[in-house]
Structure 1
Amino acid sequence: MTRTPAPADAPVPGVWEELVTSALLGTDRRTPPGCEPGPRAPAALLDAAAAETVRRRAGLCPARAARRPEPAPKDPRPPLPAAAARRLTMLLADRPGPAGGGRRGAAPDLMELLPQWLATANARGFAAPPQTVPALLDAARGRTDLRPAALTFAGPRSLWLARLNPDWRFALRATPGGGTALPGPEATERVRRLWEEGLFAERVALLASLRAGDPVAARDLLASTWTTERAEDRLMFLDSLRTGLEPPDEPFLEQALADRSRNVRATAAELLSALPASALATRMAARAMTCVSLDRALDPPAIAVEAPHECDAGMERDGVVAKPPSGRGERSWWFGQLLEAAPLGTWSARLGGRTPEEIVALPVTDDWRSDLHAAWCRAAVRQRDGAWARALLGAPTAPEAGGPGAVSLAERAKLLGTLGAAERAEWVAGFIATHGLSEAFQLLGMCGVPWAPPLGRAVVDALNIARDAGSYPWSFSGVMGLAERCLDPSEASRLDGLLAIPDETEDASPGAGGYWAEAFQRLVRTLRLRAAMAEEMGAG
C-alpha cells in the first residue's frame, strides 16, 4: 500500500518525544523546540503539543477494516411464551438481600427457583429470548450448578457470544471442540486433533461426548495417549468411564491396575468391582469368601468373620490400600475393602441360599457386624443392587432409624439412590412419619422433584408438629427451603390453615408462632409462584 507523502511543514520524527521531555524536565531546564525561553515557554509548549497532536492524528493512514463476525446461528427451537419470558427476566434480575436476624422473610427467593424454571423450559424445548442470553451467561458464570441447564437453554447464541467475551469462556470449555459442532464419526482426523491439541477441559468434554455415543471410539481414543498423560489427567479421564460402564471396558481397566499412580489403580479397581462378571470381582469374591462363613454349630446360626492377616501384593494390585487411616485397625480396613469389592451375588450361595433380608438378619460373631454391614452398604451402592439396598435399609419405621446395616445418614442416602423414585419417596415418608425431620434433610435430597404426594404430606405434617412444639423454625430452615423447591404446588391449598399466627403456649419460645407463620407464608407464596411459572410455559 502506497503512503501519502507527509506535508512539507510536518514536524520531523522525534518532535513529540522532545515535547514530552521538555514537559517532564520543565521549560526552565529545557526549552521546547521552536520556542523562545522565558515566561511564555510553558504556554508555547502546550500550543506545540496541541498542534503536534493534530498532525499525528491527521497523518495516520486508514487501517484496513476488521472482518465483521459471522452472524449468530439461528436457534431452531420454538420461542418462549411472552409471559414466561417476562418471568425469566424477573428471575435473572433478582438479587435478594440478607434477611435481618437470621430470618428469611416471607418473600420467595427467585434465584433459587431458576434451576427448576430452566429444567422445565428445557423439557419443553423452548429457545431462550436473545436479549436474555447475556444475563443467563452471567448467572451461569457465578453458579456452576446452573451451567448445564443454562447453557442448554441459551443454545448456540451463548457459544457465539462466549467467543467475543473472555468472561464467558467457560461456555466454550464446557462444550466439545470449544463451541464448534462435535466432529462426527466420519471426521476422525478432527477428533484426533482436538484430543491431542485441545485444552484439558475440552478433552474431557470430548471424551464424555464420545463415550455417550460411541463407547468403543472413546476407549480407543483414551488408550492412544494413555501412557503419555499426567497422573492427575489419567485419573480424570478414567473417571469418565463410570458413565455407561460395560464389560468391554474390562481389558483397559485391567491394564490400568498396573498404573504408576496409586489413585489411578484404586479407581480402576473400583470400576472393575462394579462389573460383577469381571476377573477382579471374581478374585475379590474368592478372597472375601475365605473371610466370611456360616457357623451352623451356633443356635441360631451366625456369620463368622476371619479378617485377613496380611495385605499381599495381589491384593494391592487389585486396589486394596495397605495402610489404614488413623485410628483404624489393619485387619478391619483390609476386610472392608475386600467385602465391598466382592459381587453381592456371592453371599446367597455362601450363606445357605438365604435372601439378602435373611442374610442381613443373621447375627455376626465377635463384634464384626458393623464392619460387615457397612461394607455391604458400600457394595450395594457401587453395584446398584436394589435388593441388598432394601435389606440394609430395613423398614423406615424400625426403632433403629438407619436400618440394620447403614451406619450414617450419608450411607442411608446413598442406599436410597439405588431405588426407584416412587419407592424412595415412600421410604423417606415413612422415616419422617416415625422419626420426624431432624435427620431427614439428606434423605429428602435424594427424592425426585416434585415430591410424591405421600412424601409431601409427611413433610407438611412434620412441619406442623414442629410448629406446635413451640420451638423456633430456624432449625428447620433447610427442610423448609427444600419444600419450597420440591413440594408439589398443588399442596399449597393444604397449607392455608398454617398461615395464621397460632396462640402461644406457656412453654413456647417467645414470638415463635409469628416466625412460623412467616415461614409458611413464604412456602405458600413460592408454591403458587411455581404453579404460575409452569402454567406460563404450558406445563401445568
Structure 2
Amino acid sequence: METDTTIPTAGAPLTEDGVRDDHARGTEGGEDGVWEELVTSALLGTDRRVPARLAGLPGTDLPGALLDAAALHTVRRRAGLRPGPAAPPPEPAPEDHRLPLPGAARRRLDQLLAGRTAPSPAGRRGAAPDLTELLPQWLALANERGYQAPAAALPALLDAARARTDLRPQALRLAGPRGLWLARLNPEWRFALRGAGAGSSLPDPGDQDGVRALWDEGLFAERVALLGAVRTEDPAAGLALLASTWSAERAEDRLMFLDSLRTGLSGTDEEFLEEALGDRSRNVRATAAELLSALPASALAGRMAGRAVTCVGLDRTAESPTITVEAPHECDSAMQRDGLAATPPAGRGERSWWLGQLVEAAPLSCWPPRFGGRAPEEIVALPVADDWQAELHAAWCRAAVRQRDAAWSRALLGSPATPPATGPGTSSLAERAQLLSTLPPEERACWVGSFIAAHGLSEAFQLLGVCEVPWAEPLGGAVIDALDIAREAGSYPWSFSGVMGLAERCLAPEAARQLESLTARPEEAEDISPGAGGYWSEAFQRLVSTLRLREAMRAELTAPAR
C-alpha cells in the first residue's frame, strides 16, 4: 500500500497541537522509520529517548506529545491508504431444500453449541446437565428428521466439528451444502472438505457420468466417499468402479479402497478378492484374505477349513470326549498367500500363532461335522487337552465376530450369570463385547442386563457400550438398580463415573420417573464414606435433569417449524 502523506520531522513548522509538521518536506527513513522511532521512545521512555520530531518543543509534557504524534501518525496512515483492486465476490451459497428447524430447536442448538452449564461448587460437576455431551445426540436426532442447520449457526457448528472429531459426520451432515460452501472460505474449516465432508457433495450413485468424472478426477477422500456411497446403493457397480482403475492405484490407496468392500460384501466379490491375494502389498493381501474368510462359502474359507480340521479334532480314545489340538509345524507359502502372517508378535509362540490364524479364518460351519454333529454349545463345553483351550476358544471368538455368527456367539458367551472366569468361552470383556455385537439388539440388552444383575457394574462398562440406545428393558432397570445398590453400599459415585456418563446419554428418558426417589439426600450411617450420600444425591439429580432435557430436545425436534 502507498500513502499520500508523510509524518512530521524535527525542524518542521509546529502545528496548533505543538507537533512539527513536515508534510510538504518528506520524512527521512520513510513511514516505517517514523513509526519505529515513536515505538522505541515509548518502550524506553521519553526521559531516555526523545524522538527527533519532538525535540525542542515548548513545555515538558513529552509523554503526551508522544501519544499525540502516534495518534496523528496512525490516522494519516489509515487515511492515506489507496484501495486495492476489488476481489471477485464468492459464488452464491447453494440452496438447501431440507426442512428448517423449529424455533425451540434452533434456540436449543445455540445453547448446546455454546455449551452453557451452571457453575458447580468446589470444581464438581454439580447437578446441571453437561450440554456438550448432549450435542452428538441432538445432531443425530435432527439429521434423522431431515432438518437443515440455520445459516447463522453454521460458523459455530463448523467450529464445534473442528474441535471434536466425533461430531464431524453428524455436524457436517446437518450443515449440508451451505456448510461446505462456507468451509471453502475459511482455512480453519478445510477439514470439512475432506473425508466424510466430501460425501455431502457426491453425485447421485445413479448418475453414471457424474460418478465416473469424480472417480477419475476427484481427490482421494472424495473417491473413498464415492466408492462407499456406490457400494451402499449397488455393490456390483462399486466393485466394477474399483476394478476399472485397480492396477493404477497406489498401494496405500488400494488398501483403503479394498476396505470399502466390507459394505455389501458377498460372493460376487470373491474373484476380485482372490486376485488381490497376489497383490504386491502385504497389507492389501491381508485385508483381502480377511474379507474372503468372512465369506464362509469362498474358496479361501474352504482351504482354511481343510487346514484347520487337520489340527483340531476329537480324541475318541479318552474316557470322555475331549478336543485334541496339533498346531501347524510350518507356515508355508500357500498359507502365507491366504493371509497367514508367518512371524508372530513378541512373546507369542509360532505354532500357537499359526493355529489361531487358521481357526479364526476357517468357516465355523466346518466344526459340527468334525465333532460328530454337535451343536456349538456342546462343542464349546468340551474339554480341550494340553492347555490349548484358551487359544482355541479365543480363535473361535474372533471367527464368530468376523462371520457374524450369532449361534456361536451365544455358545461362547454362555450364561450371563456364570462368573466370567469360569465361563465356557472367554473371560475377556473386550471379546465378550464383540460377541454381543453379533446378537440382535433386544437379546443383547437382555444378556447385559442379566450380567449386571448377577455381577454388578464394575465389569459392565465395555458391555454397555455395544448396547443399542436408548437402553431397552430390562437393561435400563438393571443399571438403575445396580447404581442404587452401589449407593447403599456407601461407595462414592465417581467410582462409577463412566457408567453414570453412559446412563445420561443412553437411558430412556422415561427412566427419570424411576430415578426420582434416588435424588433425595439420605441420612448417612456411620459405616459409610463421609459425604457419599450427598454426592450420590447430586449425581442422581444431574441424571434426572439430563434425561428430562433429552426428552425436551426430542419434543422440540418433532414440533412443526415456524
Match of 2:348 among 328, 332, 338: 328
| Distance (whole Å) between structure 1 residues aligned to residue 134 and residue 122 of structure 2 | 23
CA contact (8 A) 1:396 1:402 kept: no
| Distance (whole Å) between structure 1 residues aligned to residue 526 and residue 323 of structure 2 | 54
| Distance (whole Å) between structure 1 residues aligned to residue 140 and residue 387 of structure 2 | 48
CA contact (8 A) 2:191 2:197 kept: no
CA contact (8 A) 2:314 2:371 kept: yes
1:193 Cα deviation (Å)? 4.4
Deviates more, 1:357-366 or 1:333-342: 357-366
| Distance (whole Å) between structure 2 residues aligned to residue 388 and residue 496 of structure 1 | 41
Matched, 1:495 2:515: yes
**What residue in structure 1 maps to residue 267 of structure 2?**
247
| Distance (whole Å) between structure 2 residues aligned to residue 133 and residue 25 of structure 1 | 42
1:256 Cα deviation (Å)? 1.6
In structure 1, the residue corresponding to 2:510 is in which secondary structure?
helix
1:86-107 alpha-carbon deviations (Å, 9 max, x no partner): 1111111115599676732211
| Distance (whole Å) between structure 1 residues aligned to residue 538 and residue 355 of structure 2 | 52
Q: What one-letter code is carried by the residue in structure 2 that aligns with 1:182? A: P
Matched, 1:403 2:388: no
In structure 1, the residue corresponding to 2:324 is in which secondary structure?
strand
CA contact (8 A) 1:389 1:416 kept: yes
Matched, 1:290 2:304: no
Alignment size in residue pairs:
507
In structure 2, the residue corresponding to 1:297 is in which secondary structure?
coil
**What residue in structure 2 maps to residue 512 of structure 1?**
532
In structure 2, the residue corresponding to 1:232 is in which secondary structure?
helix
CA contact (8 A) 2:328 2:354 kept: yes
**What residue in structure 2 maps to residue 69 of structure 1?**
90
1:105-147 alpha-carbon deviations (Å, 9 max, x no partner): 2110001011111111122222222211221111111111111
Match of 1:198 among 206, 218, 223: 218
Match of 1:137 among 145, 158, 162: 158
1:69 Cα deviation (Å)? 2.8
**What residue in structure 2 maps to residue 314 of structure 1?**
334
Q: Where in structure 2 are the equivalents of 1:106-505 lying within 5 Å? A: 106-174=127-195, 180-182=201-203, 185-188=206-209, 190-400=210-420, 403-505=423-525
CA contact (8 A) 1:402 1:409 kept: no
1:367 Cα deviation (Å)? 1.1
| Distance (whole Å) between structure 2 residues aligned to residue 40 and residue 411 of structure 1 | 80
1:315-353 alpha-carbon deviations (Å, 9 max, x no partner): 111111111111111111100000000000101111101
CA contact (8 A) 1:374 1:407 kept: no
1:225-253 alpha-carbon deviations (Å, 9 max, x no partner): 33343332222221111111111111221
Match of 2:111 among 76, 85, 90: 90
When residues 184 and 176 of structure 1 are mapped into structure 2, their CA distance, relative to the original with a 3 A threshold, is: farther
1:185 Cα deviation (Å)? 4.4
Q: What one-letter code is carried by the residue in structure 1 that aligns with 2:300? A: L
Q: What one-letter code is carried by the residue in structure 2 that aligns with 1:488? A: A
1:280 Cα deviation (Å)? 0.6
- Identity across the alignment (%): 67
In structure 1, the residue corresponding to 2:314 is in which secondary structure?
strand
CA contact (8 A) 2:420 2:426 kept: no
- Alpha-carbon RMSD: 3.0
When residues 66 and 433 of structure 1 are mapped into structure 2, their CA distance, relative to the original with a 3 A threshold, is: same
- Which structure 1 residue ranges, 5 or more long, are not aligned? 1-14, 27-38
Q: What one-letter code is carried by the residue in structure 2 that aligns with 1:422? A: E
When residues 221 and 488 of structure 1 are mapped into structure 2, their CA distance, relative to the original with a 3 A threshold, is: same
TM-score (norm 1): 0.86
| Distance (whole Å) between structure 1 residues aligned to residue 513 and residue 101 of structure 2 | 29
CA contact (8 A) 2:199 2:226 kept: no
CA contact (8 A) 1:324 1:333 kept: yes
When residues 539 and 319 of structure 1 are mapped into structure 2, their CA distance, relative to the original with a 3 A threshold, is: farther
In structure 2, the residue corresponding to 1:107 is in which secondary structure?
coil
When residues 19 and 367 of structure 1 are mapped into structure 2, their CA distance, relative to the original with a 3 A threshold, is: closer
When residues 539 and 365 of structure 1 are mapped into structure 2, their CA distance, relative to the original with a 3 A threshold, is: farther
1:467-497 alpha-carbon deviations (Å, 9 max, x no partner): 1111111110000000001111111111111
1:532 Cα deviation (Å)? 1.2
